[in-house]
Amino acid sequence: MAELKEMYKGIVNSPKAELLESVNATDTIIKVNNIEAFPEAPNIATIGSDETAETILYAAKTADSLSGCTRGLQGIAKNWEAGEVIARNFTQKDHADLIENIIILQEKLSLKENQLYALSQTLLAIAEGTTQVGNSKTLDGHEASYFVKQEEFEETQINAMDASAKVINHSRKLINTENGVHGIRFFEGKTQYYDTEQEEWFDAVVDFLPTTGGTITGDLQIDGTVTLGGKYAKTLFTITTTDWTDVTGDYPKRKQINITGLLATERVDIDIAKESMKVAEKAGICPTLEEYEGYILIYAKKVPTANISATYKVVV
């Protein structure tokens, strides 16, 4: 991936200065009558004020000069007479470098999102006990990994590595398997597992539960504080057209959804399935809900005309 372009500070109102002495096309020291018109080095400046202008890059500033100049950074290096205008203007280079850096940052952000997505799916699959040996595959364009199925984690360690983001995330888990302790890591954009018999890291892929059907049983506790699986796993359910009650307010229809083990202090997130979005929109499903002991209440402007497929997840 391309590295960010160096960008140079501007100065308010781009004050103009003048050349104190004539310069030829190869001079690298340029004397000016107002050194305060230029930001600290390194930076750029433009000699001239029309289409024949020359943009230079200066490496240092003295009391009256720009020194260590790279000539013809944009435009053609040439001779200039004393008294010619020179200033730190906003240039085409500034604009081009800004646009390119935005694109690079967007690509890096997308890479981070993809890596975090793959990592989250990997850890979720492990937590739900759905991992198994499988062939390489991709999920929604993101490379994931498979692991040998396991029951116990001996150690969990997640580290942030390399502040420059060359290595975005690095996670490693030590697990029990029939063949001994294997390492699992998310490294340089790929999830890998370590085979102790072959003493080598291999790329791997997660097999996920089917999008319809399937059962998650049991919980996984990490550091004895967070429980995953069970009621905390994403669960498919249906908002039916029956059992709605009339209430007052902007959303006069209400329906109760039972969630076993739900605490009144916990929060529930609901995602409407893509194929049910139009039905939900026509029904005017309220974007907020109410959580109670063992159930939630959802509201709508009117009873839906068809069953709505959705998932809920209790947020830890």
Nearest CA-CA partner of 253 in 195, 304, 208, 177: 304
Locate 62 and state its tokens: 């003295």
Return the CATH architecture of domain 16-89: Beta Barrel (2.40)
pLDDT of residue 190: 63
Q: How far apart are CA 286 and CA 167, in angstroms?
A: 42
pLDDT of residue 110: 79
Locate 158 and state its tokens: 């997640």
Rg of the chain in Å (alpha carbons): 31
Locate 6 and state its tokens: 């160096």
Q: How far apart are CA 70 and CA 153, in angstroms?
A: 59
Tens place of pLDDT per residue across the chain (316 aa): 678 899 999 999 999 999 999 999 999 999 999 999 999 999 999 999 999 999 999 999 999 999 999 999 999 999 999 999 999 999 999 999 999 999 888 888 877 777 777 666 666 665 555 444 333 333 334 343 333 333 333 333 333 223 222 222 233 333 334 444 345 565 665 666 666 666 666 665 444 444 445 444 444 443 333 344 556 678 888 999 999 999 998 999 999 999 888 888 888 889 898 899 999 999 999 988 999 998 999 999 999 999 999 988 887 6
Q: How far is CA 218 from CA 130, 138, 224, in A?
A: 12, 27, 15
Q: pTM of the predicted model, to two decimals?
A: 0.41
**Cross-strand bridge partners of residue 271:** 311
Phi-psi group of 237: left, alpha or beta (phi > 0 → left; psi -120 to 50 → alpha; rest → beta) = beta
Contacts of 142 (CB under 8 A, 6+ apart): 114, 117, 118, 121
All CATH 2.40.30 domain ranges in the chain, comma separated: 16-89
Q: How far is CA 15 from CA 35, 233, 304, in A?
A: 10, 61, 65
Tell me the DSSP string of 136-149: --EETTEE------
pLDDT of residue 111: 76
Nearest CA-CA partner of 303 in 237, 222, 215, 243: 243
Q: How far apart are CA 138 and CA 118, in angstroms?
A: 10
Q: Count, in order, helices (H) and strands (E) of the chain.
A: 2, 24
What one-letter code names the amino acid at 160? A
